[in-house]
Structure 1
Amino acid sequence: MSACSDPIVAAMSAAPDASQAVAELAAQLLPAKPGFVLFFCSAEYDRPALEQAFARHFAGVTLAGCTTAGEITPRGYDQGTLCALAFSASHFQVALACIEDLATFDLLQAQQLVDALLQHRLQHTIQDPQKARPFVLTLLDGLSAQEEMVLLALETALGNIAHFGGSAGDDNLLSATHIFANGRFFQGAAAVIMLHTTLPFEVFSTHHVSALTDKLVVTAATTDMRTVQELNAEPAALAYAAAIGCAAADLNATVFAMHPLAVKIGKDYYVRSIQRVNPDGSLTFYCAVGLGAVLTTMQPQPILPDLQQRFADIEQRIGEPLITIGCDCVLRRLESTERETLTQASEFFRAHRVFGFNTYGEHFQGVHLNQTFTGVVIAKPVDRAP
Structure 2
Amino acid sequence: MAVGSAHGLETRAGARALDDALVRDDPKLLIVFCSQSHDLHALLAEIRERAPGVPLIGCTTAGEIATSGPSEASVVVTALGGDGFAAQTAAATQASRDLRAAGARVARCLPIREDLPHKVLILLTDGLAGDQQEIVRGAYGVLGAAVPLVGGCAGDDLKMTRTHQLHDDQVLTDSVVAAGLASDAPFGIGVRHGWRRVGEPMLVTASAANRVYTLDDRPALDAYLKHLGLDPSISSNHRWLARLALTHPLGLGRPSGEDEVRLISGGDFVERSLSCMAEVPQGALVWIMEGDETSVLEATEAACGDSLAALEGKQPLGVIAFDCIARRGVLGDAGIRTEINRLAAVTVGAPVAGFYTYGEIARTRGLRGFHNQTLVVLSVG
TM-score normalised according to structure 2 size: 0.85
User: How far does the alpha carbon of each residue in 1:213-250 deviate from its partner, in whole angstroms, 9 at most, with x for none?
Assistant: 512223344x35x3333322223222112212234437
User: Could you tell me which residue of structure 1 aligns to residue 274 of structure 2?
Assistant: 283
Partner Cα distance (1:282, 1:134) in 2: 40
Q: 2:360 — aligned with what?
A: 362
Aligned equivalents of 1:106, 1:253: Cα separation in 2: 24
Q: Measure how far apart 1:184 and its partner are.
A: 0.6
2:98 is equivalent to residue 77 of structure 1: no
Deviation of 1:359 after TM superposition, in Å, equals 0.8
Per-residue deviation, residues 296-321 of structure 1 (Å, max 9, x unmatched): 22342521122223423543553433
Aligned to 1:3: none
Matched, 1:200 2:186: yes
Distance 1:309 1:163, change over 3 A: same
Which whole-Å CA distance do the structure 2 matches of 1:283 and 1:107 have between them?
23
Equivalent residues of 1:107, 1:157 under 8 A apart: no
Alpha-carbon deviation of 1:254? Answer: 4.4
- Structure 1 Cα separation of the partners of residues 106 and 2 of structure 2: 28
Q: Say whether the 8 Å CA contact 1:32–1:86 is kept in structure 2.
A: no
Distance verdict in 2 for CA 1:74–1:110, change over 3 Å: closer
Q: Which residues of 2 match residues 125-144 of structure 1 at below 5 A?
A: 130-144=115-129
State which of 5, 24, 27 in structure 1 corresponds to 2:16. 24
Q: Does the 8 Å CA contact 1:327/1:359 hold for their aligned counterparts?
A: yes
Equivalent residue, structure 2, for 1:270: 260
In the alignment, the residues of structure 2 paired with residue 217 and residue 253 of structure 1 have an alpha-carbon distance, to the nearest angstrom, of: 22
Post-superposition CA distance 1:235-286 (Å, at most 9, x none)? 3222112212234437644432332211122222101111234432432222
Q: 1:174 is matched with which residue: 160, 172, 175?
A: 160
RMSD over aligned Cα, in angstroms? 2.5
Equivalence for 2:326: 331
User: What pairs up with 1:1-386 in 2 under 5 angstroms?
Assistant: 8-17=1-10, 20-33=12-25, 34-105=27-98, 113-119=106-112, 130-159=115-144, 160-221=146-207, 223=208, 226-248=210-232, 249=234, 252-267=241-256, 268-280=258-270, 281-300=272-291, 302-315=295-308, 317-337=312-332, 341-351=335-345, 352=347, 353-365=351-363, 366-379=368-381
Q: 1:306 to 1:153 in 2, by over 3 A?
A: same
Offset from partner CA, 1:22-65 (integer Å, 9 cap, x none) = 22123223452212111101111112222332332321211110
Aligned CA distance change for structure 1 residues 367 and 377 (closer, same or farther; 3 Å): same
**Cα distance between partner residues in 1 of 2:361 and 2:147:** 14
Classify 1:133/1:306 alpha carbon distance in 2 versus 1 (closer, same or farther; 3 Å).
Answer: same
- Give 3-state SS (helix, strand or coil) of 1:318's partner: coil
Aligned residues: 360
Q: Larger deviation: 96-105 or 176-185?
A: 96-105
Query: Secondary structure of the equivalent of 1:320?
Result: coil
- Aligned-partner Cα distance in 2 for 1:364–1:99: 20
Instruction: Give unpaired runs (5+ residues) of structure 2.
Output: none
Mapped contact 2:111–2:182 kept (Cα < 8 A): no
Distance 1:308 1:55, change over 3 A: closer
| Paired letter, 1:96 | T
CA distance in 1, matches of 2:274, 2:51: 43
State the percentage of identical aligned residues: 24
CA contact (8 A) 1:270 1:369 kept: yes
Aligned letter for 1:332?
A: R
Residue 105 of structure 1 deviates from its aligned partner by 4.4
Query: Contact between 1:98 and 1:182, CA under 8 Å: does it hold in 2?
Result: no
TM-score, normalisation: structure 1: 0.84
How far apart are 1:73 and its partner, in Å? 1.2
1:92 to partner: Cα distance: 2.0
Distance 1:209 1:31 in 2: 39
Structure 2 vs 1, CA of residues 35 and 308 (structure 1 numbering), >3 Å: closer, same or farther? Answer: same
Q: Do the aligned residues in 2 keep the contact of 1:165 with 1:375 (CA within 8 Å)?
A: no
1-structure distance, mates of 2:304, 2:211: 35
2:119 is paired with a residue whose SS is strand
Distance in 1 between the 2:288 and 2:103 partners?
35
Change over 3 Å in CA distance of 1:109–1:47 after alignment to 2:
closer
Distance of 2:332 and 2:102 partners within structure 1: 41
CA contact (8 A) 1:254 1:335 kept: no
Query: Structure 1: where are the runs of 5+ without partners?
Result: 1-7, 122-128, 380-386
